[in-house]
Amino acid sequence: MQSTFSNHLQQVERETQSSSPSGLGSDGSDPSTRSRRSKKTRTGCDVCKRRKLKCDEALPGCRRCFKFGIECPGYSRSVKWSTKHERNLKLPSSPGPTWFEKEAEGLSRSIAQGSLPQAQPGHHEGDLPGFSPDVSDLNFESDWPSFSPRGLDDTQAALDATTFNSIDRDSDQPESEICHQKSMFMDLNDNEKQLLNLRVSSSNSELSLYVPAGEDSILLSHYFSFVCEVASSFDSSVNPFRSRVTKMMDASPLLFTCVMSISAAHLYQNQGESSSIPLSFQTEAISKISEELAKISTHAPPHPPGILALAKPSAASLVKDDILLGIILLGMTSSWHDPSSLGLYHLTGSRHLFKLWMATNGLEEPLGALSMTQNFIVSSMVYWEVMVSFLLDQDLEAISYLDVFLDPAPESLSQPCPWTGVATDIFIRLAKVGTMARKRRSLHSRRLTGSEASTLTQLIEEASTLEQAILKSRAPLIGLVKDTGDPRSPPSHLVKMARSYRLASLLELYRAFPEIATSSTSRFDEVEEVDKQSQLVIGLAFDILEILETIPDNSRTIAIQSLVYLIAGSTLGHLGAMKGHKLTATQSRQNQLIKNWRQFVRNRFYKSFLSIGLHTINRVGTILEEVWSRMDSVVSSAGQGHVMDVHWIDVMTGKKLETILG
């Protein structure tokens, strides 16, 4: 059964494709002049020829380039030097290779090698220039590139035309003109350009020759232009995907390959025939990680009992930042390659490696302030654990290693993280909620034995303790959050996301454990319903959605909103009338409110899918549509239903729609 979400998405794509300039077809040609069989030609602009597409050679530029928003290079024919008709003149012998031959040979050699740039001697992390774009001069609605899931054509064409024309840092072309042409490299800093330059040219060459774009260069530019933007809740110079990852992979072949894998997975989302490219990079990344893991001793050195936190790890057990970060990124983005892939085969090893990394960095004791890199790695691992907690049956003990990060040392300002924002501690408790909710659902589906009844009693006690911890937690004040440098994701957006996820934690906890739910915060005291737990849950859902409604739909926090929309949206079940009775006026108003909120959530998922371009979002939307469909069926068939009758975890599992939810 095709869901409402998929139907609406297809309609949006058809409307988008039909709105191409000048009434052109989806391939950029005029439908009225398109022939059944295209005649091969060697003429046309360079962009069309490189992509092996027919060029209409219109003036002043071809229509394909106009469609892609790039400047057409024109139709000048290349001049080739031929010597077969020249006279056979005897030239004086040269004592050795000319200057041109030497330089050309050196350049060819550097291109052919294509080796990964290694760190120069004496080169440290702080030596690279910082990234400081003037974001106030950019029109984010029109200038910043946005990925569209309609296909790869726009991205590939823009990349073909601008890859080596926009990369030259010594160019005299004004920055405003580059923005006007929507260059793929308009948001690259000097550090990123330097890394990309090293992939395609020789630093010692005095020649400036055209070099065809290699796969690494294409993926690296896509990473900086798109992935950094859609994979983080904010994007600026302080985005760790730009600042930290760029510097680390400059000296780490492992992390570089992981980034290539992530970029390929995103770039080829809609290119089924090209699926071998992301797979090859993913395989290479896993191979490099395996090689590095083989060098690490996974056994702690002998030490007296009780002083594990003080034991100094051996040199063989030291875990470098790039290795751990590479595994986390591969695991979190497994569903980018295949929506049904959960990356669980990375999880167990990542947990063990993370504990060794904690020992390496002395993070096993109550914490002081974390460095920026440590904060990035910890928050990434926490976010991954949250996603997994709703997909995997496990004990709370499995994620207890994160407890040390629940109450970090107070800082003057909170440092935003790409995935957890300013709510790392709230996300840790949400991971516990997800673990306990799955455990309760498994016990709920069968008759309990004596030991299972005892387990349930203990689980309810743990849920009550967790509830009190969540109630005591608070999102930071806006004034105590460091500026993100991104006008589309100011600190206020991150604080609102923290508040939303805190309420989502309580919602899932009360939904799984009605024993601890109270009616103190019910919004509908006037509703004559005996199930006050349902009113508490729906009240929390409305609170969450009211907060999210105040965040603009173009906020970059959309990258981390999928799970909270799923949790809140899955409670939006209509009220049914009692048998022989009609709905009261209050119940009718609530049903209309639920209908409106459903449409709001649906629209936000559409916007998220079109902006981020990942099929995992489509899958989450499908889960939600199925939940609503079942809720409506319960109400219509039984005449009485409420939000507790259908749970999104059961729907996801039953329909085999598991995916990384964020």
Separation between Cα atoms, residue 326 and residue 289, nearest integer Å = 8
Write phi, then psi, for 505 (nearest 5 degrees): -65, -45
Query: Which amino acid is present at 3?
Result: S
Region of 23 please: left (phi>0), alpha (psi -120 to 50) or beta. left
Answer whether 580's CB lies under 8 Å from 640's CB.
Answer: no
pLDDT value for 142: 32
Q: What is the 3-state secondary structure (H, E, C) of 308-351?
A: HHHCCCCHHHCCCHHHHHHHHHHHHCHHHHCCCCCCHHHHHHHH
Q: What is the 3-state secondary structure (H, E, C) of 190-204?
A: HHHHHHHHHHHCCCC
Sign of the alpha-carbon torsion through 529, 535, 538, 542: positive
The pair of structure tokens assigned to 467 is 């509830």
Answer whether 616's CB lies under 8 Å from 659's CB.
Answer: yes
Separation between Cα atoms, residue 599 and residue 607, nearest integer Å = 12
pLDDT value for 230: 93
Place of tokens 């005897």: 90
The pair of structure tokens assigned to 51 is 């992509």
Taking only the tens place, the pLDDT of each residue in 165-177 is 333 333 333 333 3
pLDDT value for 197: 53
Separation between Cα atoms, residue 501 and residue 544, nearest integer Å = 8
pLDDT value for 206: 38
Taking only the tens place, the pLDDT of each residue in 630-639 is 998 887 765 4
Identify the segments of the chain with pLDDT beneath 50.
1-2, 9, 12-13, 15-36, 38, 86-101, 103-104, 107-108, 110-112, 114-187, 199-212, 300-313, 519-524, 527-530, 639-641
Nearest to 376 by CA among 556, 525, 569, 242: 242
